[in-house]
Chain A
Amino acid sequence: MSNDVDNSRRKFIAAGVAGTAGLVLAPGVTLLDMANARPAGEAASSTKRWGMLIDSTKCATGCNDCVTACGKENGVASTGHPETDPQWIRKIELKEVKSGKSHSLPMMCQHCAEPPCVDVCPTGASFKRADGIVLVDRHICIGCRYCMMACPYKARSFVHEEHDDQNPDVPRGKGCVESCTLCVHRVDKDMEPACVEACSAGNHGAMLFGDLNDANSEISKRIATYATTQVRADLALNTGVRYQGI
């Protein structure tokens, strides 16, 4: 009789140990962070505002890792017509004429809180998701390209050619306007955008992705500590992509 009691106690303890082991994957790496992931079936919420901080002092001239990663992730490849090829992210060089000091930085959709592309869209295809990501609904886009003209950052492109090699997660095709989606399909799975991942993987550390609404997030702390810039801040668009060191 006493044996039975002991066995059940042992089973209970073993189950408890197994349960705890599931939470700790490796020293310092736990599954607790998963609690922050949005459960499947739940809509994106305005409690979050996704943003990015780009440190141009760490962004090397000639480095193209983010652009390459974006192209690979989203299936944006050259069609052999560079004048009309879609461009979701590009590297630009800034040079101060007087001192000769130059900066390199990636430029893409700035995911404005007050996006002009959404203001001008005649069909409602251009829209801002609750969590601040600005997207094009290709089901509704008629390809008029007003949004391309309205965007101060030249962030949007028109797809001129047919495609049949899309990533199943990233549908795109001829006749619609498109731009950086902040890798929304990855963000919904609690992953970082491909460009940020590539920048970290290359040990550049020039790009940081996170929730601007969460005061404890790394990006919010950095924005609170260092001087950061919104490109064309005079337009008061409240961009989600911020720059440091320009």
Chain B
Amino acid sequence: MINPAKRRSVLGWLAAALSALLLAGVMPATADDEHGAHSGHKLIAKGDKCVRDEDYMRRNHMKILMHQRDETMRKGIRGSQDSLKNCIECHVNPKTNSVASSKEDFCMGCHSYAAVKLDCFECHSSKPKAPAVGMNPIVTPEQKSEGNDKQSSLSGKMRWQMQAKQASLNMGEGVK
């Protein structure tokens, strides 16, 4: 007969081993999920959230863009939140003022990782209409009114960095 204390410790070890095994199985998913969508990329965005759920966007942004492209080109329906122009306005990298000029930029970050060629920007401009440098999209008018003007651009930059960091942390938690 095994005494209860010993039994408890054996069970504890078993549980620990099981959870370690499970963790090992889950860990690679932080880089790629089951559909192969790359989720470790740092988000560059000005608002709180995207036009759809992030996971949905990772897999279906091309379908949304394709649908909107025909609506705009053929029927002249403009100003939709699903337009490529709207994507660029939010996701532009303030450093390069582009979404596709380097691997640090929003579109190229994933597309170069996934080795999927991106044709959009052979015709479309990868820059927003108003340059991101002069008008930091993260700094909203309310934020600008806080504190004095000299510090507002610096605080805006820091806020952007913090938000990007927070977004990448949130993504990591979401996958786990």
Partner-B contacts on A (CB < 8 A): 38, 40-44, 127, 129-131, 135, 137-139, 162-163, 165-169, 171-174, 176, 184-185, 188-189
Question: Are B75 and A130 in contact, CB atoms less than 8 angstroms apart?
Answer: yes
- Kindly report which residue of chain A lies nearest to residue B130, judged by CB atoms: A168
Distance A138 CA – B70 CA, assembled complex (angstroms): 11
The 8 A CB mask of B125-138 against A (1 = contact, 0 = none) is: 10111000000000
Distance A32 CA – B125 CA, assembled complex (angstroms): 35
Question: Are B122 and A173 in contact, CB atoms less than 8 angstroms apart?
Answer: yes
- Kindly report which residue of chain B lies nearest to residue A176, judged by CB atoms: B123
The one of B76, B88, B125, B127 in contact with A43, judged by C-beta atoms closer than 8 angstroms, is B76
The one of A41, A129, A130, A169 in contact with B129, judged by C-beta atoms closer than 8 angstroms, is A169
Ranked nearest first, the 5 interchain pairs of A and B with the lowest CB-CB distance are A173-B123, A44-B76, A40-B79, A43-B75, A171-B123
Distance A114 CA – B31 CA, assembled complex (angstroms): 55
The one of B73, B80, B122, B125 in contact with A41, judged by C-beta atoms closer than 8 angstroms, is B80
Question: Are B75 and A188 in contact, CB atoms less than 8 angstroms apart?
Answer: no
Distance A135 CA – B74 CA, assembled complex (angstroms): 9
The 8 A CB mask of B56-89 against A (1 = contact, 0 = none) is: 0000000000000101011111111000010010
Question: Are B75 and A166 in contact, CB atoms less than 8 angstroms apart?
Answer: no
Question: Are B123 and A166 in contact, CB atoms less than 8 angstroms apart?
Answer: yes
Nearest-CB distance from B58 to chain A (Å)? 23
Question: Are B76 and A41 in contact, CB atoms less than 8 angstroms apart?
Answer: no
Nearest-CB distance from B63 to chain A (Å)? 14
Q: Which residues of B contact A188 (CB under 8 A)?
A: 76, 78
Nearest-CB distance from B127 to chain A (Å)? 7
Q: Which residues of A contact B122 (CB under 8 A)?
A: 162, 173-174
- B117 an interface residue at 8 Å Cβ cutoff? no
- B176 an interface residue at 8 Å Cβ cutoff? no
Q: A41-B80, A168-B88, A168-B129 are in contact. Are A129 and B74 (CB under 8 A)?
A: yes
- B124 an interface residue at 8 Å Cβ cutoff? yes
Interface centre among B71, B75, B122, B127 (most CB of A within 10 A): B122
Question: Are B73 and A137 in contact, CB atoms less than 8 angstroms apart?
Answer: yes
- Kindly report which residue of chain A lies nearest to residue B85, judged by CB atoms: A168
Q: A166-B125, A168-B88, A168-B127 are in contact. Are A139 and B79 (CB under 8 A)?
A: no
Distance A138 CA – B69 CA, assembled complex (angstroms): 11
Question: Are A139 and B69 in contact, CB atoms less than 8 angstroms apart?
Answer: yes
Distance A176 CA – B73 CA, assembled complex (angstroms): 15
Question: Are B77 and A138 in contact, CB atoms less than 8 angstroms apart?
Answer: no
Nearest-CB distance from B106 to chain A (Å)? 16
Known: A40-B77, A40-B80, A138-B123. 13 other contacts (CB 8 A): A41-B77, A43-B71, A43-B75, A43-B77, A127-B74, A129-B74, A130-B75, A135-B73, A139-B73, A162-B122, A171-B123, A185-B78, A188-B76
